[in-house]
Structure 1
Amino acid sequence: MIVVGGGIAGLTTAVVLAESGRPVRVWTREPAERTTSAVAGGLWWPYRIEPEPLVGAWALETLAVYEELAARPAETGVRLVEGVSEGARLEELGDWAGRVPGLRAVAGGLAARVPVIDMPVHLAWLRDRFTKAGGTVEVREVTDLAAVPAPVVVDCTGLGARSLVPDPAVRPVRGQLVVVENPGITTWYTSVAHACDASTYFIPQPGRLLLGGTAQEDAWSLEPDPETAAAIVARCASVRPEIAGARILAHRVGLRPARHAVRLERQPLPNGPLLVHNYGHGGAGITVAWGCAREAAGLAGG
């Protein structure tokens, strides 16, 4: 069995399959540390992902895993962190919200203690867990899923599915972040207007603070825009003024693989492999990783 894609969806799915006793290889166009997943903010929260009823179940299943992994933050990269989603209202969220421990209404929004994942650490941990289960990771590009030499191929190609499947319903939603020295902020904050391509959030990670962000649909540029970066810092500083003077460490851009709905299904190919698709997670691949991985593994026979 071959899993195509080495980001959060691919590696998590590969772990589930390998630990079920299946021989599994991961083929990835680039190492995990260079995938879109590696530049993600890392906050567990269903964001820009459909369909909501299924997403809620996948997200809660993933939350339970992260709560266990948070007991070993240095190893897994997962911590439980308090924060506020400004403008969010419990009645406007799906049924999943009522099952998040400690999620509560506060002045102006909702507060919760939820997982924050240090993505470079977590991806490395997933890869190590996968190889310890007997799996192998190969850096190689796939141009034809039907030609992959395995009876079962699990498609976790994210935005790559647009051309590889091909599936024109997969579209990029560009996210830009600014990484700064943390001036002492220990809580996360989000304020997202879904009708706007700009948002405001900051997420504390070990040794740094991630500032965001943008949600620019159908934008393909991976080059950080200086004006956008300045606007991100200004928006975050309007919430926490100490951010204004924080030293900038890096700029990041990632393209979220958006779709009208996650594609998680079997597709037998005539005279070819069984394809199992697991892509289209938008801005919440981290949030639904384990729920989707387990369902994909079931579809693959794992």
Structure 2
Amino acid sequence: MTIDESGVLVVGGGVIGLTSAIALAESGRRVRLISRDAVGGTTSAVAGGLCWPYRVQPYARAVRWSVRSYEVLAALAERPAETGARMVTGTMTAEVADGTAGLDADDGLTAWYEAVPALRRARPDELPEGCESGWRARTPLVDMPAHLRYLERRFAAAGGVVERRPVTSLAEAGREAGTVVNCSGLGARDLVPDPGVYPVQGQLVIVENPGVEEWFVSAAPGAAETTYVLPQPYGVVLGGTACEHAWSREPDPAVAVAIVARCARRFPALARARVLAHRVGLRPARSEVRLAAERLPGGALCVHNYGHGGAGVTVAWGCADDVVRLIAEADAA
């Protein structure tokens, strides 16, 4: 196979791979994206879609990436039917082990709180019983299946090409293009290989919407059980779990019952809502996001962009900007 020295090969077809590919294609690069799965089969398609930093490190960079993505998604929310992004008001709380609210602690997100327009402290009457503090904000909430289809259309409009096939090694990819962008998510565990990548299993339940208009999240850092209610056009997404190193993609009926019960404590009508679907996704976690460039054995440049945990859609556009920058710096060196 002849190497395309000036082309870019993006490995991975989830939200991280698609946004990276779009940013590169729209900057004038010739880009091919390779993914074994169609967008509907990626982890991104199962994501709840709330723009908020969650289970992603290092926070200093993650907040910068999140603010950039907020700006992009807020603009896309002006065309919700086309892009799948909407601006929705909601409440964020954090419960800690003793039952008190944990948002007053130094959680590393100060810059995020300062950057989100109109974010404010929740009033006592806006909080669930037993919770002492929280945030009220209007943030992007993304219908991920619709958004991923939009990203595919946008990539194609920029001249990008999608190929459905597996990639067995980065060295193989480096023999096809002068630059490789590794957005393989959990697949990086074997592809790089990087044993530091591991799954954080998330189970959710989708129910008919009984009239819920706002999102609600209560998630203590590191907790295996969370509570989130995300109204989407196709129903309400109820969650959830965050089970580290759990590989099963099969929904657990007992866990589903517990999820609905937790969410119904905030919105009682959810207890009677008809269940539409059960879903399980595996978040691609790592001690911190790997976003850095290196040379592959054959000389091709490889920019790694993986390990985003539960914040893929939240940091995607900020990370894509850094991918473009790293490649430009390598070209100029």
| TM-score for both structures, normalised by structure 2 | 0.89
Please give the alpha-carbon distance, in whole angstroms, between the structure 2 residues aligned to 1:195 and 1:282.
12
2:210 is the alignment partner of 1:203: no
Please give the alpha-carbon distance, in whole angstroms, between the structure 2 residues aligned to 1:214 and 1:195.
11
Which residue matches 1:234? Answer: 261
Which residue matches 2:65? Answer: 58
**What is the aligned counterpart of 1:279 among 306, 310, 316?**
306
1:130 partner letter: F
Please give the alpha-carbon distance, in whole angstroms, between the structure 2 residues aligned to 1:269 and 1:36.
27
Which residue matches 2:247? Answer: 220
How many Å apart are 1:86 and its aligned residue?
1.8
Q: Identity over the aligned pairs, expressed in percent?
A: 56
2:73 is the alignment partner of 1:73: no
Could you say if the C-alpha distance between residues 14 and 195 of structure 1 is closer, same or farther in structure 2, counting changes exceeding 3 Å? Answer: closer
How many Å apart are 1:29 and its aligned residue?
1.2
Which residue matches 1:128? Answer: 153
Which residue matches 2:127? Answer: none
Q: How big is each residue's C-alpha offset from its partner over 1:234-293, in whole Å with a ceiling of 9 and x where there is no partner?
A: 110111110000000001110001111100000112324211000000000110010001
**What is the aligned counterpart of 1:298 among 317, 325, 330?**
325
Please give the alpha-carbon distance, in whole angstroms, between the structure 1 residues aligned to 2:282 and 2:214.
25
Please give the alpha-carbon distance, in whole angstroms, between the structure 2 residues aligned to 1:204 and 1:109.
19
Which residue matches 1:193? Answer: 220
Contact 1:146 1:272 in 2 (8 A): no
Please give the alpha-carbon distance, in whole angstroms, between the structure 2 residues aligned to 1:221 and 1:94.
35
Aligned partner of residue 151 in structure 1, secondary structure = strand
2:20 partner letter: T
Mean alpha-carbon deviation: is it higher for 280-289 or for 269-278? 269-278
Q: 5+ unaligned residues in a row in structure 1: which ranges?
A: none
2:24 is the alignment partner of 1:17: yes
Which residue matches 2:114? Answer: 98
**What is the aligned counterpart of 1:155 among 143, 162, 182?**
182
| Runs of 4+, deviation exceeding 6 Å | none
Q: Number of matched residues?
A: 302
Aligned partner of residue 177 in structure 2, secondary structure = coil
How many Å apart are 1:162 and its aligned residue?
0.6
Contact 1:200 1:236 in 2 (8 A): yes
How many Å apart are 1:300 and its aligned residue?
2.1
Please give the alpha-carbon distance, in whole angstroms, between the structure 1 residues aligned to 2:103 and 2:120.
9
Please give the alpha-carbon distance, in whole angstroms, between the structure 2 residues aligned to 1:18 and 1:253.
32
Aligned partner of residue 199 in structure 2, secondary structure = strand
Aligned partner of residue 312 in structure 2, secondary structure = coil
Please give the alpha-carbon distance, in whole angstroms, between the structure 2 residues aligned to 1:49 and 1:183.
32
Which residue matches 1:145? Answer: 170
Q: 5+ unaligned residues in a row in structure 2: which ranges?
A: 1-7, 95-101, 125-132
**What is the aligned counterpart of 1:183 among 187, 206, 210?**
210
Mean alpha-carbon deviation: is it higher for 131-140 or for 263-272? 263-272
Please give the alpha-carbon distance, in whole angstroms, between the structure 1 residues aligned to 2:211 and 2:192.
45
How many Å apart are 1:90 and its aligned residue?
5.8
Contact 1:90 1:110 in 2 (8 A): no
Please give the alpha-carbon distance, in whole angstroms, between the structure 1 residues aligned to 2:51 and 2:207.
21
2:165 partner letter: R
Which residue matches 2:103? Answer: 89
2:12 is the alignment partner of 1:5: yes
Contact 2:33 2:163 in 1 (8 A): yes
**What is the aligned counterpart of 2:192 among 165, 174, 189?**
165
Contact 2:171 2:297 in 1 (8 A): no
How many Å apart are 1:147 and its aligned residue?
1.1
How many Å apart are 1:299 and its aligned residue?
1.3
1:101 partner letter: P
| TM-score for both structures, normalised by structure 1 | 0.98
Q: Larger Rg: 1 or 2?
A: 2
Contact 2:170 2:296 in 1 (8 A): no
How many Å apart are 1:193 and its aligned residue?
2.0
Aligned partner of residue 111 in structure 1, secondary structure = strand
